[in-house]
């Protein structure tokens, strides 16, 4: 399944230890771009991340074909905001997308309908940018950027859609007489609702491969947004005998990860089969840390889980493969972000990210090839409700509404076991100030978590009393 390198590039790479710093002719044509995106996977639950329990041979081989991103961050520790940052190349807090867009969230007008929740329509997405550069674009799987028709992916930069609008659904077809709400129904294109056959992870890979086959004569972008290994915990029955040494949810997530790996391998095999591997940029990443309570994933050696701003909630496995441009079997040690994927793709496609307004991400190629030696991001930020975190160099400060701040030196303590806040008060103060200065640039939330206890809805900026029900 390994992506192929040209003989010249492969030979040149033998002398490169971290990045592809050698002088090799890059292909003149625009690369195809494939983004393989997992859901709720554990940081340690892949062979290329050191797992001895889980089996991920295809992703392990893919990782050996390119650059592993050792400090790869998402912009949020939950699905929706993380994907909003990915698709726009901007911190999602800049446009008020700080919570998952799910039922039970309140919009400023006091309504609880999902109609109000989605990626703002004035923001171009990764799909829009690549369409403008001549790409055919498609998304397969989870959208989670708004269930209302106006937020539909085919209206947000994607020519094709096969998936579901919401944030989670069954991996098996729903019975015709008991169809779920709109967000969970499988949809082809716009409005063609029909359930799949078999196991959904396999169906997404099949559809992605069909799209690649049909698009091979024109540059294409495939955003394969798997819902594996998100709940519900529903492994493929053909894997029921796998991982006999594991039990309960841990065994189930191992089986679902095996299905995810097979699906990724199927897509890579299709690229090789069609002779497209050498001209395709492939990224594998995950949307947030694993939720160890819900699916028994492992984020070892990182502390924290999904929904926290500890490293286990915001640092994810990642790799980028581009034959002839990036050295196989290499690693990049500095912090990078899913914010960077949009400008990286745009630059690879022949666009100019520097001319795009409002981007927080950067083109990673000069850093991964060694042309630039400094860190792509001296500082990174996270914020949700009144919780906020900042990573400045190797120092990370975490602010809470109900306890003193934490301060960690991630170079010495990546597992965040040694809180240094008491011993570095001046540094703590300066990081507080830097985080607050960033927060002053942000927009008020577009929708907020519903606090049912006393009818209050709280955000970082204000506290709103829940309005009375609307009669219209």
Out of 91-105, 109-123, 184-198, pick the least confident. Answer: 109-123
Please tell me the predicted confidence (pLDDT) of residue 451. Answer: 43
Render pLDDT for 321-365 as a digit per residue (tens, 0 to 9): 999 999 999 999 999 999 999 999 999 999 999 999 999 999 999
Query: Does 471 fall in a domain?
Result: no
Residue 146 binned pLDDT confidence (cut-offs 50, 70, 90):
very high
Are 322 and 403 found together in one domain?
Answer: no
Query: Does 125 fall in a domain?
Result: yes
Q: What CATH number does residue 304 fall under?
A: 3.40.720.10
Are 278 and 423 found together in one domain?
Answer: no
Q: State the residue range of the domain holding 427.
A: 379-441
Out of 92-106, 122-136, 281-295, 402-416, pick the least confident. Answer: 92-106
Please tell me the predicted confidence (pLDDT) of residue 197. Answer: 97
Are 299 and 406 found together in one domain?
Answer: no
Q: E strands within 350-430? A: 379-384, 387-392, 395-399, 406-409
Q: Which SS3 state, helix, strand or coil, does residue 147 take?
A: coil
pLDDT (mean) for 204-209? 98
Please tell me the predicted confidence (pLDDT) of residue 22. Answer: 37
Are 266 and 354 found together in one domain?
Answer: yes
pLDDT above 60 for 277: yes
Q: What CATH number does residue 385 fall under?
A: 3.30.1120.10
Are 244 and 104 found together in one domain?
Answer: yes
The contacts of residue 69 (CB under 8 Å, 6+ apart) are 318, 319, 320, 331, 332, 336
pLDDT above 80 for 10: no
Render pLDDT for 213-263 as a digit per residue (tens, 0 to 9): 999 999 999 999 999 999 999 999 999 999 999 999 999 999 999 999 999
Please tell me the predicted confidence (pLDDT) of residue 28. Answer: 56
Please tell me the predicted confidence (pLDDT) of residue 29. Answer: 84
Query: Does 156 fall in a domain?
Result: yes
pLDDT above 80 for 168: yes
Please tell me the predicted confidence (pLDDT) of residue 25. Answer: 36
pLDDT above 80 for 12: no
Residue 114 binned pLDDT confidence (cut-offs 50, 70, 90):
low
Are 256 and 166 found together in one domain?
Answer: yes
pLDDT above 60 for 306: yes
Please tell me the predicted confidence (pLDDT) of residue 102. Answer: 67
Characterize the bridge pairing of strands 187-188 and 315-316.
Answer: unpaired
Among candidates 387, 381, 380, 382, which has minimal Cα distance to 460? Answer: 387
Mean pLDDT of the chain: 89
pLDDT above 80 for 469: no
- What is the rounded CA–CA span in Å between residue 327 and residue 338? 20
Residue pair 358/94 in contact (Cβ under 8 Å)? The answer is yes
Please tell me the predicted confidence (pLDDT) of residue 109. Answer: 56
Are 402 and 360 found together in one domain?
Answer: no
Are 364 and 277 found together in one domain?
Answer: yes
Q: Of 303, 337, 368, which residue is a domain's last? A: 368
Are 68 and 103 found together in one domain?
Answer: yes
pLDDT above 80 for 23: no
Query: Does 216 fall in a domain?
Result: yes
Please tell me the predicted confidence (pLDDT) of residue 103. Answer: 59
Domain total of the chain? 2
Render pLDDT for 174-190 as a digit per residue (tens, 0 to 9): 998 888 889 999 999 99
Are 427 and 357 found together in one domain?
Answer: no
Among candidates 53, 433, 110, 441, which has minimal Cα distance to 251? Answer: 53
Question: Two tokens at 439?
Answer: 């927060």
Please tell me the predicted confidence (pLDDT) of residue 453. Answer: 37
Query: Does 245 fall in a domain?
Result: yes
Whole-angstrom CA distances from 280 to 19, 30, 156, 303 are 18, 9, 23, 35
Residue 314 binned pLDDT confidence (cut-offs 50, 70, 90):
very high
Q: Of 315, 335, 368, which residue is a domain's last? A: 368
Residue 106 binned pLDDT confidence (cut-offs 50, 70, 90):
low
Residue 293 binned pLDDT confidence (cut-offs 50, 70, 90):
confident
pLDDT above 80 for 317: yes
Please tell me the predicted confidence (pLDDT) of residue 172. Answer: 98
End-to-end Cα spacing for the chain: 56
Q: What percentage of the chain exceeds 70 in pLDDT?
A: 86
Render pLDDT for 33-59 as a digit per residue (tens, 0 to 9): 999 999 999 999 999 999 999 999 999
pLDDT above 80 for 24: no
Are 333 and 388 found together in one domain?
Answer: no
User: For the chain, what is the radius of gyration of the CA atoms?
Assistant: 22
Out of 7-11, 238-242, 430-434, pick the least confident. Answer: 7-11
Please tell me the predicted confidence (pLDDT) of residue 446. Answer: 87
Residue pair 301/415 in contact (Cβ under 8 Å)? The answer is yes
Query: Does 254 fall in a domain?
Result: yes
Please tell me the predicted confidence (pLDDT) of residue 174. Answer: 96
Render pLDDT for 371-410 as a digit per residue (tens, 0 to 9): 999 999 999 999 998 999 999 999 999 999 999 999 999 9
Are 121 and 259 found together in one domain?
Answer: yes
pLDDT (mean) for 167-180? 93
Q: What percentage of the chain exceeds 90 in pLDDT?
A: 81
Query: Does 6 fall in a domain?
Result: no
Query: Does 300 fall in a domain?
Result: yes
Q: Of 333, 368, 403, which residue is a domain's last? A: 368
């Amino acid at each position: 399944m390994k992506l192929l390198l040209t003989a010249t590039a492969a030979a040149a790479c033998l002398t490169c230890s971290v990045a592809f710093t050698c002088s090799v002719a890059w292909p003149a044509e625009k690369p195809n771009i494939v983004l393989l995106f997992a859901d709720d996977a554990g940081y340690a639950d892949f062979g290329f991340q050191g797992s001895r329990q889980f089996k991920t041979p295809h992703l392990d081989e893919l990782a050996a074909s390119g650059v592993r991103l050792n400090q790869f961050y998402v912009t949020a520790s939950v699905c929706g905001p993380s994907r909003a940052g990915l698709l726009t190349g901007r911190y999602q807090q800049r446009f008020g997308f700080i919570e998952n867009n799910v039922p039970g969230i309140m919009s400023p007008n006091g309504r609880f309908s999902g109609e109000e929740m989605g990626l703002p329509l004035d923001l171009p997405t990764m799909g829009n940018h690549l369409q403008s550069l001549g790409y055919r674009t498609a998304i397969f799987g989870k959208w989670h950027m708004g269930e209302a028709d106006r937020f539909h992916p085919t209206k947000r930069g994607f020519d094709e859609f096969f998936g579901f609008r919401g944030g989670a659904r069954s991996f098996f077809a729903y019975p015709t007489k008991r169809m779920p709400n709109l967000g969970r129904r499988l949809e082809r294109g716009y409005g063609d609702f029909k359930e799949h056959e078999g196991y959904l992870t396999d169906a997404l890979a099949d559809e992605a491969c069909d799209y690649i086959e049909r698009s091979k004569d024109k540059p294409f972008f495939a955003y394969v947004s798997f819902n594996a290994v998100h709940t519900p915990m529903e492994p493929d029955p053909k894997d029921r005998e796998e991982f006999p040494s594991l039990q309960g949810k841990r065994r189930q997530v191992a089986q679902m990860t095996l299905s995810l790996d097979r699906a990724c391998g199927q897509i890579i095999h299709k690229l090789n089969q069609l002779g497209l591997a050498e001209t395709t940029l492939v990224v594998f990443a995950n949307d947030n840390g694993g939720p160890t309570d819900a699916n028994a994933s492992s984020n070892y050696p990182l502390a924290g889980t999904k929904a926290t701003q500890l490293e286990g909630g915001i640092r994810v496995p990642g790799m980028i493969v581009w034959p002839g441009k990036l050295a196989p079997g290499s690693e990049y040690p500095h912090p990078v972000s899913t914010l960077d994927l949009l400008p990286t793709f745009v630059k690879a496609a022949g666009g100019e990210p520097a001319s795009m307004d409002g981007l927080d991400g950067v083109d990673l190629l000069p850093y991964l090839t060694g042309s630039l030696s400094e860190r792509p991001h001296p500082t990174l930020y996270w914020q949700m409700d009144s919780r906020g975190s900042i990573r400045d160099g190797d120092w990370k400060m975490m602010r809470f509404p109900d306890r003193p701040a934490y301060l960690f030196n991630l170079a010495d303590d990546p597992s965040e076991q040694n809180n240094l806040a008491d011993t570095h008060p001046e540094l703590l103060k300066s990081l507080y100030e830097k985080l607050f200065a960033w927060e002053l640039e942000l927009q008020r939330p577009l929708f907020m978590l519903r606090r049912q206890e006393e009818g209050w809805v709280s955000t970082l900026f204000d506290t709103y009393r829940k309005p009375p029900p609307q009669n219209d």
